[in-house]
Amino acid sequence: DTGVSQDPRHKITKRGQNVTFRCDPISEHNRLYWYRQTLGQGPEFLTYFQNEAQLEKSRLLSDRFSAERPKGSFSTLEIQRTEQGDSAMYLCASSTTGTSDYEQYFGPGTRLTVT
C-alpha cells in the first residue's frame, strides 16, 4: 500500500485559468476528504465523499470549485476561473468507516500558485 497520492505536486497557473487536481486514496478507504491550507494556517475542510457520494461541502467551496469521485475511487478537484486568493496547498485525505473511522491519512498535497 503506497498511501494517499496527489497529482500534481505543484501547479502554477495564471489568473482566470482552470485547474484540476487528482487524489488517489488508500485502496480500501471509502471516505475521501479535501482540505485547503493557506500559508501559516491549519488545514480547512472543503468537502468529503463516502464512496461516490459527496455528502458535505463547506461554505469555503464557492461555485467555482467542483469535486467528483466517480466510482468511489480517485477524486478530482477542479477550480474554474482561478483567483489569486485560491493560492494554497490542497490536501486530500482518506479514511475507512468502521472501528477506525476517525483516522485520516493525508497525501503530500498539491501546491497551487495563481499569478
Partner 1 sequence: AQSVTQLGSHVSVSEGALVLLRCNYSSSVPPYLFWYVQYPNQGLQLLLKYTSAATLVKGINGFEAEFKKSETSFHLTKPSAHMSDAAEYFCAVSTTGTASKLTFGTGTRLQVTL
Give the dihedral of Cα atoms 92, 29, 26, 36; nearest 10 deg.
0
The one segment of 11-19, 67-75, 79-87, 90-98 that binds partner 1 by CB under 8 A: 90-98
Residue 52 CA to residue 75 CA, distance in Å, equals: 9
Residue 70 CA to residue 61 CA, distance in Å, equals: 19
The one segment of 14-22, 36-44, 61-69, 74-82 that binds partner 1 by CB under 8 A: 36-44
Q: Which of 66, 108 has the CB closer to partner 1?
A: 108
Is 95 an interacting residue with respect to partner 1 (CB under 8 A)?
Answer: yes
Is 35 an interacting residue with respect to partner 1 (CB under 8 A)?
Answer: yes
Residue 2 CA to residue 87 CA, distance in Å, equals: 27
Give the dihedral of Cα atoms 24, 25, 28, 33; nearest 10 deg.
-130
The one segment of 14-22, 49-57, 67-75, 76-84 that binds partner 1 by CB under 8 A: 49-57
With CB under 8 A as the contact rule, the residue among 32, 48, 67, 94 that binds partner 1 is 48
4-23 residues near partner 1, rule: CB under 8 A:
4
